[in-house]
Chain A
Amino acid sequence: MNNTAQELQIACIEDVPPLEETPPHRPAPMPMQTLAYWTPRAIFRAMLRRAIEAVELRTVRRAAISVTHADEQG
């Protein structure tokens, strides 16, 4: 766009699309962030989840462990 064209746009600025004199666009996303809040319900859920995790950690599970008895032979 030459200077004359720009001057023309300025002269009748309200009747023309916005003047842009910029490098070529390189569109890239800027995603909207999501936020979760500490509501009473969220606090209760978090506590429940922690409690379940703690119980799971304490659970004793039967485990089958193979023993070779290699040390007894010698």
Chain B
Amino acid sequence: MSRDDLALHRWLLFGLVVSTTAAATTRLLAIFRTDDVTFLRVALLVVFAALFSWIAMSFWIGCLGAHALWRRSTSLPLLEPTETKGMPAGPARTVLVIPVHNENSIEVFVRLRAVWESLCEAGAGSQFDFFVLSDSSEANSRADEHREWLRFRDEHPQARIFYRRRERNTGHKSGNIADFCRNWGALYDYMVVLDADSVMTGEALSRLVRLMDANPRTALIQVAPLLIGGDSFFARSQQFASWLYGRMYAAGLTKLQGADGNYWGHNAIIRIRPFMENCGLPILPGRPPLGGEIMSHDFVEAALLRRAGWEIWLAADIGGSYEASPPNLVEHLKRDRRWCQGNLQHMILMFAQKFRLPSRLHFTLGVMSYLCSPLWLALVALFIANTVELEQRATVSYVGRYPVLIWPISHTVAFVSLVVAAIVLLYGPKLLALLLLLRDKRALQNYGGLSPALFSVLAESILSTLLAPIYMLSHSWFVLNILFGRMVRWGAQLRASEGIGLWQSARAFAPHTLIACALGAAAWHWTRADFWWYTPLLVGPAFSIPLCWISSSSYWGAFARRHGLFLVRSEMGGIPIIDRVDDLVANRMRLAGRDQTAPEGGALRAA
């Protein structure tokens, strides 16, 4: 991918997004032009254009990715010396850092063990050190971490695995890593950051080291992780979407970003020297939640590296990178609440001097991924207000004493065409991903075959349609809270597949249900003729309580799996590192069950 190709892709995307948005907005403008142009309609047009450009961009990035995958041109334009291809990594010292904060220690160390074994199989075990960086505050977690670490060392004496604990988690995850860098960073050339639920294969890690060796201007290579390990219906649907659609979007982003890539916080290799020189995070002006310590550190670190002239790449063609997904809707939204706060902090960074334009765009996209929810809510409210205004308009006006009938003009065809356009933009990429899958018979088998893949895409589309308005309401609430200064603590994330009880689900989603019922009643009362237009928005939130309850259940997850729904390659076997993680977890759980009587076994009790 040359510099010209990159510019071509970027201008192409810009042109396509602008023209798609302009076409849709002028269509809506044509509808409004037959009536009066009021402030309400101008506001509606502006919000509509902003949201339409958002989904148009997502659609065209997907198309670009599909095109790249179709032509099988996803490789990075990075040098990789041919003589070392498939060979172990070079002499550079690399450290895998795993920041943990009150995590399930058994699972953390089991994954590390699988990574270590995979590295040894790739012949690169001796070039990698492991650092478990604990910020855990709970006594049980700390004791478990120590015990699991000792167990790891005893079982693998040749592994260089270190354990460091901080009393205070100053700066959260980024502070944890910065503390490591200040104390031990100078010992290493590269650092691979893994989350507590991350897994990477030895082959992928070795390849990353070789790429860094061969490309001295590259400071960071991000590998897109695929979701694994989901048991619940919700987690498995997310997992399926990540496997089928994720690689397409990653390929599209790779084509657009070039060396202006982004950092996603984990499953990435980082050149330590430029990271230490340029990524000491500043404190943002103002008070939390929008000011103070930077929460979503990864985007900022990427922007700082780019500011200093270093290259950052997203590797869409390197596999072997995995992470777990939140087990249920409540945990997913809890994570979104934290990310929302972190991303909204980036609003001010969009106006920081010396950042490159692509870095500003990364910030903007991160902010928009949450701001689009209140905008969508505003669009719905504006449409309802517009409809109510039209309904209440007198059907007769007078010229002097003579009545003049106002002929209503039907805009149904125009509206339907806009809705169809939006549906194409939202669901088109899913169909493209399916077409790509149908082309590759071997890959299709990883999804259970043709019928299971088709039904899975259909089921995922229905579920995501139901969930989208729930996210919209929740994200709007998050944004409102953050703008009013309410902040959230950066706590540990629940990663285990725990179902949610009906009561817990009811407590979490009663507001969504009430809002949907109230909006439905209002729409039925004021604009009965248009009521059915609003049903796709109302059904999800109205049934959010049972939806969350059922989708969090491992029973329904297993039921779906038995019937071939949401199957992915990691569940079909054949990925040694994931199979190994599963085996190790099963073994440890069996041991835990046997040792449960041991009084000091915090981790075992947790298991």
- Chain A interface (Cβ < 8 Å from any Cβ of B): 3, 6-7, 9-11, 13-14, 18-23, 25-39, 42
Contacts and interface: CB of A to CB of B under 8 A. Distances in A.
A37 B348 contact: yes
Interface in B183-228: 183-187
Interface string B121-148: 0000000010100000001001100110
A29 B183 CA distance: 9
A30 B282 CA distance: 11
A36 to B, nearest CB: 5
Contact of B282 (A9, A20, A26, A33): A33
A10 B153 CA distance: 16
B282 A34 contact: yes
Given A18-B166, A20-B164, A35-B349, A30 B184 contact: no
Contacts of B178: 30
A14 B165 CA distance: 12
B14 interface: no
Nearest to B275: A30
Interface of B: 129, 131, 139, 142-143, 146-147, 149-150, 162-167, 178, 181-187, 276-283, 285, 304, 348-349, 351-354, 600
Given A13-B142, A13-B143, A6 B282 contact: no
Kindly name the residue among A13, A28, A36 whose own CB sees the greatest number of chain B CB atoms within 10 A. Answer: A28
Contacts of B304: 33
B139 A13 contact: yes
A26 B164 contact: no
Q: List 5 tightest A-B contacts by C-beta distance, closest first.
A: A28-B186, A32-B280, A26-B186, A18-B165, A22-B162
Given A30-B280, A32-B282, A6 B352 contact: no
Interface of A is mostly: loop
Contact of A20 (B142, B165, B279, B280): B165
A27 B183 contact: yes
A8 B133 CA distance: 21
Contact of A25 (B129, B163, B165, B183): B183
A21 B167 CA distance: 15
B185 A30 contact: yes
Contacts of A35: 282, 349, 352-353
A10 B183 contact: no
Given A13-B146, A26-B186, 11 more contacts: A6-B146, A9-B146, A10-B147, A18-B164, A19-B165, A26-B184, A28-B276, A30-B185, A35-B349, A37-B352, A39-B351
A6 B152 CA distance: 14
30 contacts: A6-B150, A7-B150, A11-B600, A13-B143, A18-B166, A20-B165, A21-B149, A21-B162, A21-B163, A22-B163, A22-B164, A25-B183, A25-B184, A26-B183, A26-B186, A26-B187, A27-B182, A27-B183, A28-B276, A29-B276, A30-B185, A32-B283, A33-B279, A33-B280, A34-B282, A36-B352, A36-B354, A38-B351, A38-B352, A38-B353
Contacts of B283: 32
Contacts of B129: 23
Contacts of B285: 37
